[in-house]
């Protein structure tokens, strides 16, 4: 599957990605780890170890190499602690039991420091880095304050997350500069909530009404729900939901997947839901780009529909109650907030 961002082979079928775990970040017999103090600056004369003959290198040495480029380019002074260089996001991401040994092109750096020159040097000189994203103050995505994004400076920022479910794993790809990050954990409470409610209600249709990149809807599809509807008002989220259906199709009961939208042509935000992707076979999956409040009239069997409303501001019970009441009042059927 061609990567929509860089045109490379970043997006692989889910089974292929899952098949690399856990060996992808495991050391060989010759790999060596020398942990560094993340709260202290990198010593002036420190030389990071080179990659092992197996092609992997301990993450602390990778981060030290990144830190050196930032220091040499003047992006940092060199007095900052090592961890201040940025946030490393591994590809693929899954719940790790130990610090990883990174193969080539397996890490995206999120950092407020680099300019384009420094970022290009990092991608060119640190083989484990697949992309560098300059972060801003806002969290990428769509919330009540509008949309926000970071800036991809070099390489590719497409990254895969592996989320376990009770049936198997789902692989969720995202653009880290444009979408929220949700790191995999051994147990995902939202996925457990979806599985619990699906088991309780046995819906014909499950709606992932704030789909993000589609994690909860894919979990429902993996659990065997006949029809799954995904919806998100944020264009990048809806687009990557469609990509993720295609990436996971081998584990789903679908024969064909059609994506009707181009990544670069989708608006950042859309109100009226528009169908941008569809998959069919023994299951039927639909992806809408639009406001969840306008989705209920498009649901054909609301009496057998169950919706997960993964909204912002879940810490406010009154707000949750209003959203649930509005959904039910609009004819959307049963709903819960995971």
- Asked if 299 contacts 329 with a C-beta cutoff of 8 angstroms, the reply is no
**92-131 exposure pattern, b = at least 16 Cβ within 10 A, e = fewer:** bbbeeeeebbbbebbbbbbbebbeeebbbbbbeebbbbbb
Task: Decide: pTM greater than 0.75.
Answer: yes
The domain spans of the chain are 14-160, 188-336
At 145, the pLDDT band (50, 70, 90 cuts) reads low
Residues 250-262 pLDDT 10s: 999 999 999 999 9
Q: Would you say domain 188-336 falls under CATH 3.40.50.150? A: yes
Task: Examine residue 223 and say whether the peptide bond preceding it is cis (omega within 30 degrees of 0).
Answer: no
- Asked if 274 contacts 304 with a C-beta cutoff of 8 angstroms, the reply is no
Residues 9-49 pLDDT 10s: 999 999 999 999 989 999 999 999 999 999 999 998 999 99
- Evaluate the CA torsion angle 118, 124, 126, 129 in order and state its sign: positive
């Amino acid at each position: 599957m061609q990567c929509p961002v860089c045109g490379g082979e970043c997006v692989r079928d889910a089974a292929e990605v899952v098949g690399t775990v856990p060996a992808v970040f495991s050391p060989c017999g010759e790999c060596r780890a020398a942990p560094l103090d993340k709260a202290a600056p990198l010593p002036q004369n420190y030389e990071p170890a080179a990659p092992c003959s197996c092609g992997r290198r301990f993450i602390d040495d990778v981060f030290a190499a990144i830190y050196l480029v930032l220091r040499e380019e003047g992006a940092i002074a060199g007095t900052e602690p090592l961890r201040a260089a940025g946030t490393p996001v591994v590809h693929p991401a899954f719940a790790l039991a130990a610090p990883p040994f990174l193969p080539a092109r397996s890490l995206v750096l999120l950092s407020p420091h680099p300019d384009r020159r420094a970022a290009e040097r990092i991608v060119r000189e640190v083989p484990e880095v697949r992309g560098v994203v300059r972060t801003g103050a806002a969290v990428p995505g769509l919330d009540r304050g509008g949309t926000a994004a970071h800036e991809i400076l070099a390489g590719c920022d497409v990254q895969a997350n592996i989320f376990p479910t009770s049936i198997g794993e789902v692989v969720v790809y995202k653009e880290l500069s444009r979408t929220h990050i949700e790191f995999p954990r051994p147990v995902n409470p939202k996925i457990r909530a979806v599985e619990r409610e699906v088991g309780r209600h046995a819906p014909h249709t499950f709606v992932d009404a704030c789909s993000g990149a589609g994690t909860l809807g894919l979990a429902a599809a993996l659990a065997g729900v006949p029809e799954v509807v995904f919806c998100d008002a944020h264009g990048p989220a809806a687009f990557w939901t469609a990509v993720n259906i295609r990436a996971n199709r081998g584990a789903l009961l679908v024969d064909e997947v059609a994506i009707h939208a181009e990544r670069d042509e989708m608006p950042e935000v859309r109100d009226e839901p528009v169908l941008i992707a569809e998959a069919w076979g023994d299951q039927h999956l639909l992806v809408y780009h639009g406001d969840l409040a306008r989705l209920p009239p498009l649901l054909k069997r609301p009496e057998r529909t169950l919706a997960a409303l993964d909204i912002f501001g879940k810490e406010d019970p009154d707000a949750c109650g209003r959203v649930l009441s509005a959904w039910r009042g609009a004819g959307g059927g049963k709903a819960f907030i995971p």
